[in-house]
Structure 1
Amino acid sequence: MKLKPSVVLAVALCTLVGMGFGYWMLGGARASDSAQLLTARIVLLPKPMALPSAALETASHEPFSGDYFSGKWTLMLFGYTYCPDICPTTLAELRALYERLPEEAQQRLRVVMVGVDPHRDTPELLQQYVEYFNPGFAGMTGTLDQVTLAANALRLPFVPGDTSQPGYTVSHSGNLALIGPDGQQRGVVSSPLDVDALADVLPALVRTR
């Protein structure tokens, strides 16, 4: 299924891009840093934002919270195991990116996929799916209401599938939320991912606090 972005998604991303460019223009980053971030399709928020209080958890019952995400940078994808194209492609790109990073950067970065299809994806199934791409990747999920709450707050909304239909799909993007080591959202990485550009930018970014 090819993604058909909703108006909400388009407006949210345009707003975020505008906020990010405003941040750079106001001196939040040097011109050279801004160019690198732009090439890597990373848009930073003007200031970090606290994560929503969403009742999500991993297969090992670790909760979606600032405490869980603190200490490392996180790239967060919203997706599902039955996804025919966006999720496997994005996770394969993230695997390639992770393998390109120096060991120090790997230790400072995690990848988390939040499931948007709790009707079919249990936490255990989601974890098995992401581990196929990299044993260090993690999966999280919860009720549809809680996943929707998290996705909207992180500016990565999706359109739930019609569970009454066999083989239903879920409309979502391949964009990633960028969570800082302070457990707050720092920005968004737009898809399609540029693995080469991200591999150049992330080692320096994940050294910052």
Structure 2
Amino acid sequence: MTSLRLRCSSLLLAGLLGLPSVAAALDRTQLLDEANLLLLPRARPLPAVELVDQHGEAYRTDALDGRWHLMFVGFTFCPDICPTTLSELRRLLAGLPAPIREQIQVTLVSVDPRRDSPERLKTYLGYYRAGFEGVTGELAELKRLTQALGLPFTPADGATGDYSVAHSANVALVDPTGRLVGHLRAPLAIDALQTVLPEVIED
């Protein structure tokens, strides 16, 4: 009896809202799940953070260039997560329609400023030949940004030699106005993302 009431309620709701729109919402939810893409209920503005880019130029999060950003936290000495993620992001961009691809900037936020100079970031990202951007800066600024992005890391304070930095493997999706919209969760589902990301950007 209870299941019958629930079914009747669902049918009534579908009738009130319009069955096509309900089906479309369900399809979109399924696509997002398959893409491992989590969209926030409400976009969150990023704090004004001052960093430096791979060209040695000042970089401010409150002065983004009007493009969508895929922001990833890591460091150039990372042995596995970073090169894998950057390679996957390159493949993701390569499979998107050109008008969509041109609206997206991939940015590596290096949380190893001791070793990752602008020059090293430029050389490292150049290997990917995908127009990736790199930024770094003072640890205090990096912490503010990564916390706002929901991409935590553990600073390697006092570490010397061949050390590692623990960091999130997710990728933050930031809209052209500098607001955090969601996360591409690891492992990246490239094929599904190539389907759903254009819909999110054009929505």
Give me the TM-score of the superposition, normalised by structure 1: 0.80
Alignment match of 1:143 (pick from 135, 138, 142): 138
Q: Aligned ranges for residues 109-148 of structure 1 at < 5 Å? A: 109-148=104-143
Q: Which residue of 2 aligns with 1:166?
A: 161
- 1:52 is the counterpart of 2:12: no
CA spacing shift, 1:84–1:182, aligned 2, 3 Å: same
Question: C-alpha distance in 2, partners of 1:134/1:41?
Answer: 26
AA aligned to 2:147 is: N
Identity within the alignment, %: 41
Q: Which residue of 2 aligns with 1:94?
A: 89
Cα distance, 1:181 vs structure 2: 1.7
Could you tell me whether the CA contact under 8 Å between 2:64 and 2:176 is conserved in 1?
no
**Structure 1 segments (4+ residues) deviating >4 Å:** none
Which amino acid in 1 is paired with 2:178? G
Structure 2 portions without partners, runs of 5+: 1-21
Report how far residue 117 of structure 1 moved: 0.1
Amino acid at match of 1:82: F
Aligned Cα RMSD in Å? 1.7
Q: Which letter does structure 1 place at the counterpart of 2:102?
A: Q
In 2, the alpha carbon distance for the partners of 1:94 and 1:151 equals: 19
* Alignment partners' CA distance in 1, 2:25 and 2:119: 43
1:20-59 aligned at under 5 Å gives the runs 30-59=25-54
1:115-163 alpha-carbon deviations (Å, 9 max, x no partner): 0100100122112212211341100110111111111111111011254
What does the per-residue CA deviation read over 1:39-60, in whole Å, with 9 as the maximum and x for residues that have no partner?
1111111111111122213134
- Does residue 156 of the first structure (1) align with residue 151 of the second (2)? yes
Equivalence for 1:64? 60
Task: State the SS of the aligned residue for 1:63.
Answer: strand
Partners of 1:192 and 1:135 in 2: CA distance: 20
Give the partner amino acid of 2:175: G
Q: Which amino acid aligns with 1:99?
A: A
Q: Per-residue CA shift, 1:148-206, capped at 9, x if unaligned?
A: 11111111110112543320100012101110122211111111111111111112222
Provide the rounded CA distance (Å) in 1 between the counterparts of 2:161 and 2:101: 39
Check the 8 A contact 1:62/1:68 in 2, yes or no. Answer: no
2:7 equivalent in structure 1: none
Distance 2:43 2:79 in 1: 33
Letter paired with 2:33:
L
1:81 Cα deviation from its structure 2 partner: 0.3
Aligned to 1:106: 101
What letter corresponds to residue 63 of structure 2 in structure 1? D
Q: Secondary structure at the match of 1:133?
A: coil
Q: 1:176 aligns with which of 171, 174, 177?
A: 171
Conserved? CA contact 2:50–2:58, under 8 Å: no
Q: Retained in 1: the 8 A contact 2:49–2:62?
A: no
Runs of 5+ unmatched residues, structure 1: 1-26
Structural mapping, 1:10-21, within 5 Å: none
CA–CA distance in 2 between the matches of 1:38 and 1:193?
A: 12
